[in-house]
Amino acid sequence: MLQEPVLQLRDVSKTIDNRKIIDQMNLDIFPGEVFGLLGPNGAGKTSTIRLIVGLTSLQQGDIVIHGHSIRTDFSRAISQVGAIIEQPDLYTYLTGYQNLLHFARMHENIAHDRIMEMADIVGLTNRIHDTVRSYSLGMRQRLGLAQALLHSPSLLILDEPTNGLDPAGIRETRDYLRKLAHADNTAVLISSHLLSEIELMCDRVGIVQQGKLLQTLEISELSSASQSKTPLEDAFLRITSGNVI
Ligand SMILES: Nc1ncnc2c1ncn2[C@@H]1O[C@H](COP(=O)(O)OP(=O)(O)OP(=O)(O)O)[C@@H](O)[C@H]1O
């Protein structure tokens, strides 16, 4: 790819209680692609994402977002990022609209129309003036997505993005994230332990195990190079030496 990466991880390592949970990770993510971190429970996917958004401190290496290091220029780096880590960060006693308005005030130039546009995109227009307390898990996920995208970030990061969604919601989210990447040139980074989700949603995948990024693969190349019905599963099992997800 000719474009500059939106996100660069450079020799990133993290040790907690004498255990390396991220081990010398190097990764470039480009505009217009959906990239999936795939690995078994405990592989280090969430920890990697938490490091990128500054929820935990970076011990070794560097993370550069849009040319800004999170070590030296965190606020400019993070201004390019929208993220949902584990649960969306919502006030349940406020309405969906009030939540989005609250978030909008943290940024410049986000008007009522943009809030309503995002409510429409995530299918919440009819419920946007109800309190979040009355929302289902899937509706909260959708509101979280609207919140993460309100300021039109160039990098969207979602930890297990379809958790709690029904099949229609999973498909809508998948279609929307692919459109966001391919039509709007946003870089989307997701984590998942579900092979099928990664296979259907992502352009590239990075296989993570015990804190190491073992390999990155193009999903389309995998499918076209194999007669197998389960090319990603085959590749995953080969790369991780048969360890089951
Ligand atoms: N604050 C912490 N203190 C101690 N160990 C931690 C901490 N955070 C993460 N770990 C450990 O780091 C490893 C990676 O955890 P992480 O949550 O990043 O994995 P994951 O790939 O996201 O897994 P899952 O699919 O289960 O969410 C695990 O062994 C976990 O126990």
**Tens-digit pLDDT profile for residues 120-157:** 988 899 999 999 999 988 889 889 999 999 999 999 99
Cβ-based burial of 25 (10 A; exposed 0-12, middle 13-18, buried ≥19): buried
pLDDT of 1 strictly over 60: no
Rounded Cα–Cα distance for residues 29 and 40 (Å): 21
In this prediction, residue 245 carries a pLDDT of 47
Contact 187, 181 (CB under 8 A): yes
Give the residue, by CA position, lying nearest to ligand 1 atom 12.
Answer: 21
Question: Residues with beta carbon inside 6 Å of ligand 1?
Answer: 16-17, 21, 39, 41-47, 193
Provide the whole-model pTM: 0.91
Alpha helices in 55-153 (DSSP H): 74-78, 96-104, 112-121, 137-149
pLDDT of 97 strictly over 80: yes
Report how far apart, in Å, the C-alpha atoms of 234 and of each of 141, 195, 215, 243 are: 31, 10, 14, 11
In this prediction, residue 242 carries a pLDDT of 56
Ligand 1 atom with the shortest distance to the CA of 47: 18
pLDDT of 201 strictly over 90: yes
Distance 191 CA to ligand 1 centre (A): 13
Please provide the average confidence, as pLDDT, over all residues in the chain.
91
Instruction: Report residue 88's pLDDT band, with 50, 70 and 90 as the boundaries.
Output: confident
**Tens-digit pLDDT profile for residues 11-64:** 999 999 999 999 999 999 999 999 999 998 889 999 999 999 999 999 899 999
Contact 219, 202 (CB under 8 A): yes
In this prediction, residue 166 carries a pLDDT of 85
Give the residue, by CA position, lying nearest to ligand 1 atom 31.
Answer: 42
Average pLDDT over residues 91-97: 96
Among 95-109, 126-140, 200-214, 218-232, the least confident range: 218-232
Rounded Cα–Cα distance for residues 45 and 42 (Å): 8
Distance 143 CA to ligand 1 centre (A): 26
The domains of the chain, with CATH numbers, are 1-80+153-245 (3.40.50.300), 89-152 (no CATH)
Average pLDDT over residues 109-126: 91
Contact 209, 25 (CB under 8 A): no
Ligand 1 atom with the shortest distance to the CA of 44: 18
Does 119 or 165 have the greater pLDDT score? Answer: 119
What's the length of the chain? Answer: 245
Distance 129 CA to ligand 1 centre (A): 36
Q: Pick the closest to residue 62 from 5, 7, 4, 2 (CA basis).
A: 7
- Torsion-angle region of 204 (φ positive above 0: left; ψ -120 to 50: alpha; else: beta): beta
pLDDT of 72 strictly over 90: yes
State phi, psi for 134 to the nearest 5 degrees. -85, 0
pLDDT of 164 strictly over 50: yes
Distance 22 CA to ligand 1 centre (A): 10
